[in-house]
């Protein structure tokens, strides 16, 4: 039996196809374990080696990694939701209701999407707190902290735009209150200090461009949908790339 | 007036409790890593 | 280092100083034009993109509408049109005025409590009296009054939702007050 | 570098030059460390990540089961649900809206938080405490940060569990379905000052819509005084602290710190003295 298994493994792993894909042998020795990292675009996000101290769970609590994991989970479940959801005020609500009822696994994807969104926001805050408490933002890593803050803000805006899409009462009024805050922005808001003096009216201030109108309606839903599904994820991916690259270059600030 | 006072007390106590949680965690982690260093 | 292959003639320091500053000048000029052009192009497109995001035509419910004859409305606050038009029609001894049902704090729709004779906002607890003055909660200004007029042809009240009366309130012990006399002026009041 | 050479040597010869590239580029951070206390990322770090991902998925599934995503009735723009709550992570801001005007609570304060966070690494001169948990070596920084964080979380806790109809305060044991009685109207600080000192409220000078009264000037003095004292006291008493920071860093940090302390200060002024606005001008109110 053993010989048979070896024979099969031999036939599979020595073929040209296999070798063209995997540039390394089974990672049973250090050379192959290093090669696994070298030859994989995702794995090589990590260095090939890392200090033993850096592996301690009670240092990073894996929070940055978890945040990224939630982001990937959100992206995947988000795409699934997009197969059924149409951002039209007349049918958005029913699409979400369909997802929850008639579509097989629909409620699973929606729940996963929602809970990983909440989890991502929470883990981003905890990650920021951990990075602060371990002083990992100190030179030379200040810029990476700034990129982190930008990612935090984009995560919050992502969550906020996603909150409107189900178009139920909670969504509509949470966004109405939020957009009224935008209207209260100083200088560029219609209701903000020195706004009217600068000619900011109901139809040309920052709230108007945020909602694409004077009321939270179809154009607001569409703008939020585009931002939520495309605009902001691109921005996030870009800044995440910078974030991961800086960690990769500046090395792990873990305990020496 | 009772509500106002209640909110005030709740706010103060709540802030101190949460601060205590975070400070406690930091100090606990600080000591536990110090112990690791001595052990090694 | 010297592309022309010409031997560098020994120039006096001033001449060299002039060359360097002249070269430096042209470099700066070149940089200026290059980056200036780039900045202008970038600036132009972003201003264009921003203008693109401001729609010129907005498909929203009409803001000028008729709400029936004055004598359809009795004394007190009429909630009938709140659902459809987001306004309250209020009649007191002297006439009729129309309050806009948008809380001045953050835009939620307040509710009228007839027993307490108060408008109360569900979002942050702002409280207004029947004339729109703020008697409680965080609202920074009094309720808007919409422009009202009588259509001479069919005698109906015409409301202009976007024409709003918004006087500066005075902080007093009871809250933000505006004296009623100054508010009951056309086009925001109908003596009917 | 020699040690690294040997492992690279064992790689199958590749025609592309990427193999050699690693040797040419400047040492990346991970190479700088000595080889002895090193472990290969594969399998050690990768396994930890796999396990944490599995655990996170399990947690998400569990949460999805015990409390599925709610879907309320269809949105209608004429009836506002009571109370209207933003998502939990914005409830800190919504709670602030009770005490501050929307332009402050909704725009200026969040921007100050974000700008403060961005400035953090540049205004923290303390070299100690890099890469390990410490409170003893970074007391002021950790205390300040934890205070801000605690303020943020406590406002969220209040917004989520203690705010009911008309956003009034409801203790958990109270009846959440009956409207709270109307609490007394709030009074501006300048009105309180005006009344107690018995000053006339005829404006001294009017700039356009702004009738400046004595009480109003006093509130301006109090407001600017708060910042003036906040800036000067640490400057005079803790000169060493000032010197480590330097002029620009000190002022940035102090402005952020004082504004952060200003938030609970105004909240308590509202709770204990019924103050609506500390400072009133026709254009903005604080």
* A212 interaction partners in chain C (CB closer than 8 Å): 53, 55, 58
% residues pLDDT > 90 (chain D): 41
Three-state secondary structure string covering chain A: CHHHHHHHHHHHHCCHHHHHHCCCCCCCCHHHHHHHHHCCCCHHHCCCEEEHHHHCHHHHCCHHHHHHHHHHHHHHHHHHHHCCCCCCCCCHHHHHHHHHHCCCCHHHHHHHHHHHHHHHHHHHHHHHHHHHHCCCCCCCCHHHHHHHHHHHHHHHHHHHHHHHCCCEHHHHHHHHHHHHHHHCCCCCCCCCCCCHHHCCCCCCCHHHHHHCCCCCCHHHHHHHHHHHHHHHHHHHHHHHHHHHHHHHHHCCCCCC
- Output Rg (C-alpha) for chain C, integer angstroms: 32
Q: How confident is the model at residue D168 (pLDDT cuts 50, 70, 90)?
A: confident
- Using alpha carbons, select from A31, A49, A37, A252 the residue that is nearest to residue D40: A49
Query: Is residue C5 assigned to a domain?
Result: no
Shortest alpha-carbon distance between residue C178 and chain A (Å): 19
Judgement on whether residues C24 and C99 belong to the same structural domain of the protein: no
Assess whether pLDDT exceeds 50 at residue D44: yes
Which carries the bigger pLDDT value, residue D235 or residue C168?
D235
Mean pLDDT of chain C: 86
Which carries the bigger pLDDT value, residue D6 or residue D204?
D204
| Nearest residue on chain D to C86, alpha-carbon basis | D78
| Nearest residue on chain B to A135, alpha-carbon basis | B26
Predicted pLDDT of residue C10: 64
Q: How confident is the model at residue D36 (pLDDT cuts 50, 70, 90)?
A: low
User: What mean pLDDT is predicted for residues A63-69?
Assistant: 94
Give the separation between CA B30 and CA A123, rounded to whole angstroms: 21
Number of domains in chain B: 1
Q: Which domain covers residue C55, as residue numbers? A: 13-59
Tallying the residues shown for chain D, one arrives at 286
Cβ D70 vs Cβ A171: under 8 Å:
no
Predicted pLDDT of residue D55: 94
C54, C60, C123 member nearest A177 (Cβ): C123
Each residue's pLDDT tens digit, C115-157: 889 998 887 778 899 999 998 887 888 999 999 999 999 999 9
The two tokens of residue D148 are 């801000």
Number of domains in chain C: 2
Predicted pLDDT of residue D199: 82
Please enumerate, as own/partner, the contacts of A204-210 that have beta carbons within 8 Å and a separation of 24 or more.
A204/C54, A206/A182, A207/A179, A207/A180, A207/A182, A207/A183, A208/C54, A209/C50, A209/C53, A209/C54, A210/A179, A210/A182
Each residue's pLDDT tens digit, D232-272: 999 999 899 999 999 999 999 999 999 999 999 999 998 88
Phi then psi for residue D284, to 5 deg, are -145, 155
Shortest alpha-carbon distance between residue C74 and chain A (Å): 31
Contact C123 A214 (CB under 8 A): no
Tallying the residues shown for chain C, one arrives at 192
Predicted pLDDT of residue D24: 43
Contact D46 A43 (CB under 8 A): yes
B22, B29, B37 member nearest A58 (Cβ): B29
Mean pLDDT of chain D: 84
Range of D105-109, D149-153, D200-204 with top mean pLDDT: D149-153
| Nearest residue on chain A to C163, alpha-carbon basis | A202
Q: Is C57 on the interface with A (CB under 8 A)?
A: no
Contact A177 C107 (CB under 8 A): yes
- Using alpha carbons, select from A19, D23, A142, D95 the residue that is nearest to residue C106: D95
Instruction: Give me the interface pTM, i.e. the ipTM.
Output: 0.82
Pairs across C and D, CB distance < 8 A: 83
* D72 interaction partners in chain A (CB closer than 8 Å): 168-170
Stated pTM of the model: 0.84
Give the separation between CA D78 and CA C80, rounded to whole angstroms: 12
* A135 interaction partners in chain B (CB closer than 8 Å): none
Contact A133 B22 (CB under 8 A): yes
Contact C108 A217 (CB under 8 A): no
Contact B10 D146 (CB under 8 A): no
Predicted pLDDT of residue C139: 84
Residues sharing a CB contact under 8 Å with residue D283, sequence separation 6 or more, in sequence order: A193, A194, A197, D210
Q: How confident is the model at residue D6 (pLDDT cuts 50, 70, 90)?
A: very low
Candidates A14, A78, A170, partner chain D, best to mutate (most D CBs within 10 A) = A170
Each residue's pLDDT tens digit, C91-126: 999 999 999 999 888 888 898 988 889 998 887 778
Interface chains of chain A (3 or more CB pairs under 8 Å): B, C, D
Assess whether pLDDT exceeds 80 at residue A250: yes
Q: How far is CA D42 from CA A64, A215, C38, D27, in A?
A: 19, 54, 46, 21
Shortest alpha-carbon distance between residue D277 and chain C (Å): 9
Q: How confident is the model at residue D9 (pLDDT cuts 50, 70, 90)?
A: very low
Intra-chain end-to-end CA distance of chain B, in Å: 59
Give the separation between CA D105 and CA D95, rounded to whole angstroms: 9
Cβ A131 vs Cβ A145: under 8 Å:
yes
Lowest-confidence segment of A49-53, A112-116, A206-210, D65-69 by average pLDDT: A49-53
Contact C108 A203 (CB under 8 A): no
* A170 interaction partners in chain C (CB closer than 8 Å): none
Mean pLDDT of chain A: 90
- Using alpha carbons, select from D76, D274, A124 the residue that is nearest to residue C86: D76
Judgement on whether residues C72 and C166 belong to the same structural domain of the protein: yes
From the CB coordinates, do chains B and C have 3 or more pairs under 8 Å? no
Contact D127 A138 (CB under 8 A): yes
Give the separation between CA D132 and CA D145, rounded to whole angstroms: 16
Question: Domains along chain A?
Answer: 1-49 (no CATH), 57-250 (1.20.810.10)
CATH number for the domain harbouring residue C98: 2.102.10.10
Assess whether pLDDT exceeds 90 at residue D1: no
Residue D195's H or E segment, with its range, is helix D189-197
Query: Is residue C54 assigned to a domain?
Result: yes
Assess whether pLDDT exceeds 50 at residue A71: yes
Each residue's pLDDT tens digit, B12-40: 999 999 999 999 999 999 999 888 888 86
Candidates D32, D36, D75, partner chain A, best to mutate (most A CBs within 10 A) = D75
Interface chains of chain B (3 or more CB pairs under 8 Å): A, D
* A56 interaction partners in chain B (CB closer than 8 Å): 36
| Nearest residue on chain B to D273, alpha-carbon basis | B4
Contact D187 C173 (CB under 8 A): yes
User: What mean pLDDT is predicted for residues D9-22?
Assistant: 47
Q: Is A4 on the interface with C (CB under 8 A)?
A: no
Judgement on whether residues C26 and C114 belong to the same structural domain of the protein: no
Assess whether pLDDT exceeds 60 at residue D18: no
Q: Is C123 on the interface with A (CB under 8 A)?
A: yes
Query: Is residue C105 assigned to a domain?
Result: yes
Query: Is residue C190 assigned to a domain?
Result: no
The two tokens of residue D115 are 């700008």
| CA C141 remoteness from chain centre | 14
Burial of residue C172 (number of CB atoms within 10 Å: 0-12, 13-18, 19+): middle
Cβ C132 vs Cβ C175: under 8 Å:
no
The two tokens of residue A118 are 């909440």
Candidates C106, C125, C126, partner chain A, best to mutate (most A CBs within 10 A) = C106
Q: Is B11 on the interface with D (CB under 8 A)?
A: yes
Interface chains of chain D (3 or more CB pairs under 8 Å): A, B, C
User: What mean pLDDT is predicted for residues A104-119?
Assistant: 93
Each residue's pLDDT tens digit, D93-135: 889 988 888 889 989 999 999 999 999 999 998 888 888 899 9
Cβ C105 vs Cβ C126: under 8 Å:
yes
Which residue has tokens 């073929």? Answer: A15
Residues sharing a CB contact under 8 Å with residue A170, sequence separation 6 or more, in sequence order: D70, D72, D81, D84, D85
Shortest alpha-carbon distance between residue C14 and chain D (Å): 41
Predicted pLDDT of residue A256: 52
- Using alpha carbons, select from C4, C8, C180, C27 the residue that is nearest to residue C95: C180
Assess whether pLDDT exceeds 90 at residue D220: yes
Predicted pLDDT of residue C9: 59
Q: Which domain covers residue B39, as residue numbers? A: 1-40
Each residue's pLDDT tens digit, A31-58: 888 888 888 888 888 888 888 877 788 8
Shortest alpha-carbon distance between residue A135 and chain B (Å): 11
| Nearest residue on chain B to A134, alpha-carbon basis | B26
Judgement on whether residues C17 and C53 belong to the same structural domain of the protein: yes
The two tokens of residue C192 are 């009917």
User: What mean pLDDT is predicted for residues A158-174?
Assistant: 92
Each residue's pLDDT tens digit, D52-105: 999 999 999 999 999 888 888 888 877 788 888 888 999 998 899 888 888 899
| Nearest residue on chain B to A130, alpha-carbon basis | B26
Query: Is residue C117 assigned to a domain?
Result: yes
């Amino acid at each position: 039996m053993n010989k048979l298994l070896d024979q099969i493994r031999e036939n599979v792993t020595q073929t040209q196809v296999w070798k063209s894909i995997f540039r390394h042998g089974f990672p049973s020795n250090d050379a192959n374990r290093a090669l696994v990292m070298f030859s994989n675009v995702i794995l090589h996000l990590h260095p090939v080696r890392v200090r033993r101290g850096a592996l301690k769970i009670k240092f990073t609590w894996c929070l940055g990694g978890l945040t990224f994991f939630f982001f990937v989970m959100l992206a995947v479940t988000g795409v699934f939701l997009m197969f059924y959801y149409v951002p039209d005020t007349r049918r958005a609500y029913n699409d979400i209701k369909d997802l929850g009822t008639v579509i097989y696994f629909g409620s699973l994807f929606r729940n996963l999407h929602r809970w990983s969104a909440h989890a991502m926001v929470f883990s981003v805050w905890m990650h920021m707190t951990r990075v602060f408490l371990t002083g990992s933002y100190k030179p030379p890593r200040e810029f990476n902290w700034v990129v982190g803050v930008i990612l935090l803000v984009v995560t919050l805006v992502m969550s906020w735009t996603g909150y409107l899409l189900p178009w139920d009462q909670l969504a509509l009024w949470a966004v109405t209150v939020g957009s009224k805050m935008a209207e209260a922005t100083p200088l560029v808001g219609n209701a903000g200090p020195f706004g009217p003096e600068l000619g900011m009216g109901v139809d040309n201030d920052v709230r108007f461009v945020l909602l694409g109108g004077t009321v939270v309606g179809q154009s607001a839903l569409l703008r939020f949908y585009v931002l939520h599904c495309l605009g902001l994820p691109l921005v996030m991916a870009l800044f995440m790339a910078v974030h991961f690259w800086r960690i990769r270059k500046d090395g792990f600030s873990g305990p020496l | 007036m009772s509500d106002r006072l209640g909110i005030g007390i709740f706010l103060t106590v709540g802030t101190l409790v949460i601060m205590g949680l975070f400070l406690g965690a930091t100090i606990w982690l600080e000591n536990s890593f110090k112990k690791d260093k001595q052990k090694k | 280092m010297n592309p022309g292959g010409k031997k560098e003639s020994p120039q006096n320091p001033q001449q060299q100083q002039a060359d360097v500053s002249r070269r430096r000048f042209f470099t700066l000029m070149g940089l200026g034009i290059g980056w200036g052009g780039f900045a202008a192009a970038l600036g132009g497109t972003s201003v264009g993109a921003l203008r693109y995001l401001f729609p010129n035509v907005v498909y929203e419910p009409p803001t000028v509408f008729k709400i029936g004859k004055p004598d359809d409305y009795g004394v007190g606050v009429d909630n009938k049109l709140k659902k459809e038009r987001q306004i309250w029609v209020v009649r007191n001894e002297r006439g009729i005025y129309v309050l806009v049902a948008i809380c001045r704090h953050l835009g939620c729709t307040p509710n009228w409590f007839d027993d307490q004779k108060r408008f109360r906002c569900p979002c942050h607890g702002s409280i207004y009296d029947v004339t729109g003055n703020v008697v409680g909660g965080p609202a920074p200004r009094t309720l808007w009054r919409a422009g009202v007029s009588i259509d001479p042809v069919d005698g109906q009240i015409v409301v202009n939702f976007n024409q709003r009366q918004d006087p500066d309130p005075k902080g007093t012990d009871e809250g933000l007050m505006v004296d009623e006399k100054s508010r009951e002026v056309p086009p925001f009041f109908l003596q009917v | 570098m020699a040690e690294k050479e040997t492992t690279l040597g064992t790689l199958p010869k590749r025609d592309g030059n990427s193999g050699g590239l690693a040797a040419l580029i400047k040492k990346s951070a991970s190479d700088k460390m000595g080889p002895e206390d090193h472990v290969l990322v594969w399998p050690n770090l990768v396994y930890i990540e796999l396990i944490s991902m599995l655990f996170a998925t399990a947690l998400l599934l569990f949460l999805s089961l015990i409390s599925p995503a709610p879907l309320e009735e269809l949105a209608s723009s004429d009836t506002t649900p009571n109370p209207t709550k933003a998502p939990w992570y914005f409830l800190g801001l919504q709670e602030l809206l009770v005490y501050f005007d929307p332009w402050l609570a909704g725009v200026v304060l969040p921007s100050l938080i974000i700008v403060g966070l961005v400035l953090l690494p540049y205004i923290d001169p303390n070299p100690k405490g890099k890469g390990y948990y410490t409170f003893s070596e970074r007391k002021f920084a950790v205390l300040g940060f934890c205070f801000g964080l605690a303020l943020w979380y406590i406002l969220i806790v209040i917004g989520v569990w203690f705010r009911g109809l008309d956003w009034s305060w409801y203790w958990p044991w109270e009846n959440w379905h009956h409207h709270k009685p109307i609490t007394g109207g709030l009074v501006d600080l300048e009105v309180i000052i005006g009344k107690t000192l018995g000053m006339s409220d005829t404006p001294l000078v009017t700039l356009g819509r702004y009738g400046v009264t004595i009480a109003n000037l006093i509130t301006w003095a109090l407001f600017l005084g708060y910042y003036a004292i906040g800036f000067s006291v640490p400057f005079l008493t803790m000169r060493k602290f000032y010197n480590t920071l330097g002029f620009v860093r000190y002022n940035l940090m102090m402005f952020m710190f004082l504004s952060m302390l200003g938030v609970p200060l105004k909240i308590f002024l509202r709770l204990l003295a019924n103050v609506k606005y500390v400072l009133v001008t026709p254009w903005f109110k604080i």
